[in-house]
Structure 1
């Protein structure tokens, strides 16, 4: 038996949950990031339109002083095609993907830069060079990826970890994520962050292992940081919606009620949950995803060619804020 491939019927539309809303990099995020002298950030293998457009845009916005690492002739060619004359821009010569990350790490080691931005190279090569112990970027803390989800109509960010680096983070790693996100929320202007540790339930159930983990994570984080509120387990709706809290008549202790319905940050159980959640907010709510890796000696930005320009600029702004004392 043979099957032929056919096009879907013309009367079938895409999901009605998809949103056309698109957000720009919020002006208040840019304003917070552009106070003081722009820090230097390295673009690791700075070739290709998307990478150089990002570097040019961030430089023009006075967010950063870009250092372009890669093949100088290709950088010059690609920049010329965009209309960027590279006047006053530092270029560090390297060859290939491994050469680019090796050169960037040397710039970190000699104090020439305060942040890394992924250019045109594979993520495994980029992160593989970073996690080497002799690179000096790992400083005892776990590296954790964080997305700051920015609403298209404005308003405070909702942070999510970990959707890109740690596949199945253990309790210690998720506790580190909670603490790192709380610190970033404070730098974004929230004096007392509220961090929810997610599960599918607000009760600890043996049949749902993430619920017991969430309670342990919330307690461990609270013991280390009394300038924020941590609560878990909480379901997604009870983390962000006051209406859900009221309708379900949530009966919980004061620590949980301090976070319920008003979370600034969400700790997810694993990479699948984080990936689904952030993409749902992008595609169904028009959220702008600004992402970076925290926990290292410097902020690390994992931009992608598929990211819209606004998300790439917001990611760099977030990294600048994260790097401030």
Structure 2
């Protein structure tokens, strides 16, 4: 069981100090998060972006970056391309973004020839610690796969499950989320959930326990499970939730963090190196944990 996001910080601390390439680094919250990362001696940044703005903002947030490599590139798209190249060439271990929109960030990452894509499917894992739940859980996918089919959903689950294995959770409990626990032909997400549950039971999705369809209340509340009389190993003790599509996942993530007081850490799975994937509007704390989470996925 993951008790807090500090687990990722401790894992990151146990590794050698990593290099983190920062695309369009002229971003206040990103630089504040990097300051925390460097103070913990987890990683050292390579800052790619508008050099003048990087130094100006760094001075304003009391982060001395003069000892780190700074690559001047005022064009944001080119800055991202250069940051991706640093990771591709092995000069950096992790990639993160600063003042970049999601399409600008993902385009060079997913480029067939020069990008970082390793697996056929690239997905996002987001780890969340919220005061109303007893452990850290994960969700997928709020930023990459728009409307995944059932086979893509199976791959997304397996990729996230493998991350849990990497951090010591041997058999995570996975809830496939829908509006109801009943299978209804008018609601394709419930049919997908039933198929995924059966795939897991027959060994098509390994190393976890999958149950669905489950509504959000059933996934997180034992009281709801008892009230509805549902027989489930997952309900009330979920480790990973698969949301039906990007709209549901993105709404869930931002509602949890902005209204629910959640701490979160998000990164991309299926790349040759860990890729941090925060929202541009995320807090300093959320970006800090996202960086730590990505660094924790690095080899020793």
TM-score by length of 2: 0.89
Match of 1:85 in 2: 64
Distance in structure 2 (CA, Å) of the matches to 1:250 and 1:85: 56
Aligned residue pairs: how many? 296
Match of 1:237 in 2: 217
Match of 1:27 in 2: 6
Distance in structure 2 (CA, Å) of the matches to 1:249 and 1:154: 21
8, 20, 26: which is aligned to 1:47?
A: 26
Give, in angstroms, the shift of residue 269 of structure 1: 0.5
Q: 2:113 aligns to what SS in structure 1?
A: helix
CA-to-aligned-CA distance 1:114-167 (integer Å, 9 cap, x gap) = 221011122211111111101241113312122211124884212111112222
Distance in structure 1 (CA, Å) of the matches to 2:180 and 2:133: 29
Match of 2:247 in 1: 272
Give, in angstroms, the shift of residue 104 of structure 1: 1.3
Distance in structure 2 (CA, Å) of the matches to 1:103 and 1:152: 39
Give, in angstroms, the shift of residue 225 of structure 1: 4.4
Match of 2:38 in 1: 59
C-alpha contact 2:19 2:94 (8 A) present in aligned 1: yes
Give, in angstroms, the shift of residue 283 of structure 1: 4.1
- Cα distance, 1:282–1:208 mapped onto 2, change above 3 Å: same
- After superposing the two structures, state which structure 1 stretch, 116-125 or 186-195, moved more: 186-195
C-alpha contact 1:26 1:154 (8 A) present in aligned 2: no
C-alpha contact 1:175 1:218 (8 A) present in aligned 2: no
- Cα distance, 1:93–1:283 mapped onto 2, change above 3 Å: closer
Distance in structure 2 (CA, Å) of the matches to 1:68 and 1:293: 20
C-alpha contact 2:101 2:280 (8 A) present in aligned 1: no
Give, in angstroms, the shift of residue 68 of structure 1: 0.8
CA-to-aligned-CA distance 1:176-204 (integer Å, 9 cap, x gap) = 22112212223333221111111222232
Distance in structure 2 (CA, Å) of the matches to 1:266 and 1:53: 30
- After superposing the two structures, state which structure 1 stretch, 97-106 or 215-224, moved more: 215-224
Structure 1 gap ranges (5+): 1-24, 252-256
- Cα distance, 1:152–1:244 mapped onto 2, change above 3 Å: closer
Larger radius of gyration: 1
259, 265, 275: which is aligned to 1:290?
A: 265
Matched, 1:319 2:291: no
Give, in angstroms, the shift of residue 76 of structure 1: 2.5
- After superposing the two structures, state which structure 1 stretch, 203-212 or 181-190, moved more: 181-190
- Cα distance, 1:26–1:152 mapped onto 2, change above 3 Å: farther
TM-score by length of 1: 0.83
- After superposing the two structures, state which structure 1 stretch, 211-220 or 241-250, moved more: 211-220
Distance in structure 1 (CA, Å) of the matches to 2:88 and 2:192: 37
Q: What pairs up with 1:108-257 in 2 under 5 angstroms? A: 108-152=87-131, 155-221=134-200, 223-251=203-231, 257=232
Match of 1:4 in 2: none
C-alpha contact 1:179 1:221 (8 A) present in aligned 2: no
Distance in structure 2 (CA, Å) of the matches to 1:155 and 1:262: 8
C-alpha contact 1:178 1:221 (8 A) present in aligned 2: no
- Cα distance, 1:32–1:156 mapped onto 2, change above 3 Å: farther
Indicate the RMSD between aligned Cα atoms, in angstroms: 2.2
Structure 2 gap ranges (5+): none
